[in-house]
Structure 1
Amino acid sequence: MAHYFVGDIQGCFEELQLILAKVDFNPSKDELWAVGDLVARGNGSLQTLRYLKSLEASAKITLGNHDLHLLALNGNIKRPNPKDKLAELLSADDLPDLIAWIRKQPLVQTLPSHNIIMSHAGIPPQWDLATLLTEANAVSQALQQDDYIDSLIAKMYTDQADLWDSAATGLPRLRYCINALTRMRYLFADGSLDFKCKSPIQDKPPQLTPWFEFNSPLKQSHTLVFGHWAALMGVVNQPNMQALDTGCCWGEHLTLWHLETNEKIQQHKIKS
């Protein structure tokens, strides 16, 4: 079995098919691990979701901020942005089935045999593995509730849940987990999340530090796989880190990491 980890697809379905062909991906024996942000910006969000859903157990998904935003669009909490190119998906006959499938996907995936943790944006440096799994599972359970749109999706849009508080309960705790696992890039010195800066590290304000440069128990024991931060272009200069968002939807390329060979395969954006 081969394990392939792919960066933010964001509707770049044609590029996904081309990069999987390069490695002769076979879902009967291989697994595709996707770091989230499956939809938006590219032309093939509908095809991407249909394909990943069809892989069943051969696809391991973590949800990204764009995937959660799709749930908000479906629940009429937000209005579509034409730049996201989601009209075809939102009008598809099988949208309810695709939404139900997305709601079953977690915010974190682990591969214990190789000490790998995958999430969309990263892992809060304050968390150990037990905390990570507990908090992510709480969000997954909330997404499975019948009233998930009103109780969670409609209330998750806030920048106030920016600092981990182990004493917090209920919605504030869920909000922090979503913000950290799907939106995190830079942190302030106290570990609180910054939601504004997306700059490359060399251009960052001095008061901010990339989350992966903080001391963390999981950095020492696991390989952390994430996407979300296209400005990094895969460069983190940290051991046990795999940054896979390389901006395919912005005209750059899609990146696939082959675990067993430690090889990175790339597919440039197809010009339309």
Structure 2
Amino acid sequence: MATYAIGDIQGCYQSFKRLLKEINFKPSRDTLWLAGDLVNRGKGSLDVLRYVIDLGKASKQVLGNHDFHLLAAAEGLRKLRNSDTLEEVIKAPDAKALIDWLSQQPLLHYDKHLGYVMTHAGIPPIWKLKKAQMLAAEIEKLLSSKARKEFLENLFGNEPLCWSDDLEGEDRHRSIVNYFTRMRFCQADGSLDFTSKNDVASAPKGYAPWFSYPSKVTKDTEIIFGHWAALEGHTGVKSIHALDTGCVWGNHLTAMRLEDRKKFKVAAVKQDLI
């Protein structure tokens, strides 16, 4: 019986199945934690969603920025880009069930017993764990309500760049989602930068990787995140684990066994790539 956290799958179904074989995953015995971005850019987004849904309680997943993009596109609120591979999902006969399931997934998963919390992009240094849980729950409530379409319609954008407890409405919701799903570089006060997606050396002046600041969360638990392929799975911080290793870019898909932090990886399967 083991728990494995896996970085961004992004529709790389064959690579995902290869990794599950590598770790000898048994859904009757083991549990997966999936760090968001289940879909997009790889060729098998539909297969990934169906497989994960079928796992039921054997899989815990959080939403990433590409998952939000799918939710909005399925509502007709965002146009698909040339690099997107989501049309197959949107046109699938079971599309409504898939989208409804996706909209019910959390932004944050925490297991006190195992001692880990997982979000797609991380948790900013300005938030404690309880704060992060509370803010994630705000968004989860909206996504599972009749207000989902209105929420998604006003979700996308960069502003505001810095969190404030005084934020309200669309700005508040957008800020929460951006921290959980798009964050890379920030300032000590939590101000975000979205201009750079490269490695830590590319930090804009006055900014640093969010995990380089003292964390209010790691006093209580370790953090698992994906989203940032340029890190190649390394943060340099013992209690903060980066698991996106760029499978969709032809690199690797990585899993970490939470009980002993052992990592497993497989090379991307070419059939997954556009």
Give me the TM-score of the superposition, normalised by structure 1: 0.97
**In the alignment, which residue of structure 2 is the partner of 1:33?**
33
Determine the C-alpha separation between the residues in 1 that align with 2:30 and 2:198.
35
CA contact (8 A) 2:196 2:202 kept: no
How far the C-alpha of 1:28 sits from its partner, in A, is 1.0
**What does residue range 242-253 of structure 1 map to in structure 2 within 5 Å?**
242-253=241-252
Q: Distance in 2 between matches of 1:168 and 1:191?
A: 14
Matched residue SS, 2:117: strand
2:236 paired residue number? 237
Q: Is the 8 A contact 1:189 1:207 kept in 2?
A: no
Determine if contact 1:7/1:227 at 8 Å carries over to the other structure: yes
Displacement of 1:21: 0.7
1:128 and 2:128 aligned: yes
* Matching residue's letter, 1:138: E
Indicate the larger mover: 133-142 or 212-221: 212-221
1:48-100: per-residue Cα shift (whole Å, max 9, x none)? 00000001111101000000000110011111123222221121000100001
Contact 2:114–2:258 under 8 Å retained in 1: no
Match of 2:212 in 1: 213
**Could you tell me which residue of structure 2 aligns to residue 169 of structure 1?**
168
Question: SS state of the match for residue 113, structure 2?
Answer: helix
CA distance in 2, matches of 1:211, 1:64: 17
Deviates more, 1:134-143 or 1:21-30: 21-30
Name the SS for the 1:122 alignment partner. coil
| 2:83 partner SS | helix
Q: Name the SS of the counterpart of 2:15 in structure 1.
A: helix
Q: List alignment gaps of at least 5 residues for structure 1.
A: none
Instruction: Quote the Cα distance in structure 1 between the aligned partners of 2:147 and 2:220.
Output: 38
Q: C-alpha distance in 2, partners of 1:145/1:247?
A: 33
Matched AA of 2:9? I
Tell me, in whole angstroms, the C-alpha distance in 1 between the residues paired with 2:143 and 2:16.
27
189-198 or 115-124, which moves further after superposition? 189-198
Deviation at 1:189, TM superposition (A): 4.3
Corresponding residue number in structure 2 for 1:138: 138
TM-score of the two chains, using structure 2 as the length reference: 0.96
**1:187-246: per-residue Cα shift (whole Å, max 9, x none)?**
034321111111211232332100001122112321100000000000110020110000
2:7/2:35 contact within 8 Å kept: yes
Q: 1:46: Cα distance to partner?
A: 0.1
Percent of paired sites with the same residue = 39
Amino acid at match of 2:58: S
The CA deviation at 1:262 is: 1.7
Structure 1 segments, 4+ long, off by >4 Å, are none
Distance 1:10 1:265 in 2: 18
Tell me by how many angstroms 1:161 deviates: 2.1
Question: Could you tell me whether the CA contact under 8 Å between 2:126 and 2:189 is conserved in 1?
Answer: no
The 1-side partners of 2:8 and 2:198 are apart by: 18
Cα shift at 1:173 = 1.7
Which residue of the partner structure matches residue 157 of structure 1?
A: 156
Aligned length: 271
* CA deviation vs aligned residue, 1:25-47 (integer Å, no higher than 9, x gap): 11111101000000001000000
Q: Map residues 40-55 of structure 1 onto 2, 5 A cutoff.
A: 40-55=40-55
CA distance in 1, matches of 2:130, 2:202: 34
Q: In 2, distance between residues paired with 1:28 and 1:190?
A: 44
Counterpart contact for 1:6–1:256, Cα < 8 Å: yes
